[in-house]
Amino acid sequence: MPLPLRVPARLLFARHKTTAAQHVAARHLDHAFERLAAAHLPLVAASPLVDALRASPEPLALPNLARRLPLRLHRRGPLHFLRLFPRVFDLRAPLPLSLSLTPAAAGLLAVASSPADAARTLHRLLAMSVTRSLPLRAVFRVWRELALPDDFEDSVVEGHPHLFRLVSNPAEPNTHILHLVADQATEDFTPAVEKARPDRYAFKLQFPPGFRLAKEYRKKVKEWQLLPYTGPYQVVSPSAGGSKRVSKLARRKMEKRAVGIAHEFLSLTVEKMVEVEKFSQFRKWFGIEVNVRDVFLDHPGIFYLSAKGKRHTVFLREMYDRGKLLESNDVSEARAKLVELMLLRRRGLGNANSSANMASGATADARESGDDFVDHEDCLLDVSEK
């Protein structure tokens, strides 16, 4: 049995000594999160296609879809990918083939937060911005993670004019900025970290199995936990863009504030996870002055970063137990059922004992190493966002 890794104390604060790729490769793997990330890969890859099918009241011709969307879903082609998931995609003959979502998948995908709940989520998101505003395109990139309704621009933004105002972006034609117009003095937002904070300024730490803390590293972590910082909803001055030379203490405070913002952002998401690239779009607007990927990697007791499927996905550790989400709701349960439908693939179809086969098949897909989307990521190619 291999000995657990001993992590050097310099890991948190010596980023200048390693490249980004080396930093990611050197992280301590948590296999529960790796399996969870792998299980979501087919759904993540198919998301542009799923969005297009949901927006159409009628089945769409597959050749037209292939021209409109980057259907690089699988090395064997999009048709092979679609046939792998008959419980999600309904392929219809004759030629040209048409495609739609199955009733089961469409029903699960339709589950979203109510406009009132979505407004609260969007309010908190905008309240974290230094200027209390965000580009609408950035919000669109995370609407699914935040469980916003499909029509949130109408039902949430226009439906709550006392909270939000949408204006044209003078810096970029044909884009919009979403402003928060609510009275800041009436806001009383408590960050999610306060619900489980072990001590003042501290974050709940939950290191992965086999992660051993060296004495010097433990001391550094304790010092960092006691370090004061500006909370995600506290007012801060916009960066003046001056000299980047700051003291070590100032940089550690900047880093801790970034940890607090990332923790709160992930707490607002349905599944307490998000792609790092999507979160990075908010970096300037949140006033984060450090590299966000390094923040996730440097604090493995708070976050876990997976590199499955040629994309970086970050999870909020404290919200999971052995790969299972601790706090569920209608939206997260619907998402979990949709992932299960994709994990089942073609198992149990046309079999009298289908229920038992489907249950065992879903478990096997999450555990076995022979799955195309779990261990052979070269089969799953990058899919551009719509």
Q: Enter the pTM of the model.
A: 0.85
Distance between CA atoms of residues 237 and 130, nearest Å: 7
Task: Round to whole Å and give the CA distance between 333 and 354.
Answer: 22
Q: Tokens 């989520």 — which residue?
A: 121
pLDDT in tens, 142-172: 999 999 999 999 999 999 999 999 999 988 8
Reported as half-sphere exposure (CB side, CA atoms, 13 A), residue 96 has a value of 9
Among residues 28, 8, 6, 4, the alpha carbon closest in space to that of 17 is found at 8
Rounded to 5°, angle at Cα 281 from 176 and 321? 125
pLDDT (0 to 100) of residue 186:
87
pLDDT of res. 245: 74
Domain positions in the chain: 21-110+331-343, 114-187, 191-233+247-327
The structure tokens listed for 99 are 């495609």
pLDDT band of 355, cuts 50, 70, 90? very low
Query: 295: closest CA among 340, 249, 345, 254?
Result: 254
CB 196 within 8 A of CB 318: yes
Q: Which CATH architecture has domain 114-187?
A: Orthogonal Bundle (1.10)
Q: What is the DSSP code string of 352-380?
A: TTHHHHHHHHHHHHHH-TT-HHHH-GGGS
Buried b (16+ CB within 10 A) or exposed e, 71-101: bebbeeebbebbebbebbbbeeeeeebbbbb
Q: Are 175 and 141 in contact (CB under 8 A)?
A: no
- Structural contact between residues 292 and 276, judged by C-beta atoms closer than 8 angstroms: yes
Asked whether residue 371 carries a pLDDT value surpassing 60, the answer given is: no
Statement: residue 226 has pLDDT above 70: yes
Residue 376: pLDDT band with limits 50, 70, 90: very low
**What are the pLDDT digits (tens) for 261-312?**
999 999 999 999 999 999 999 999 999 999 999 999 999 999 999 999 889 9
Check: CB of residue 12 under 8 Å from CB of residue 297. Answer: no
> Using one digit for the tens of pLDDT, what is the confidence trace for 175-209?
999 999 999 988 989 999 999 898 999 999 999 88
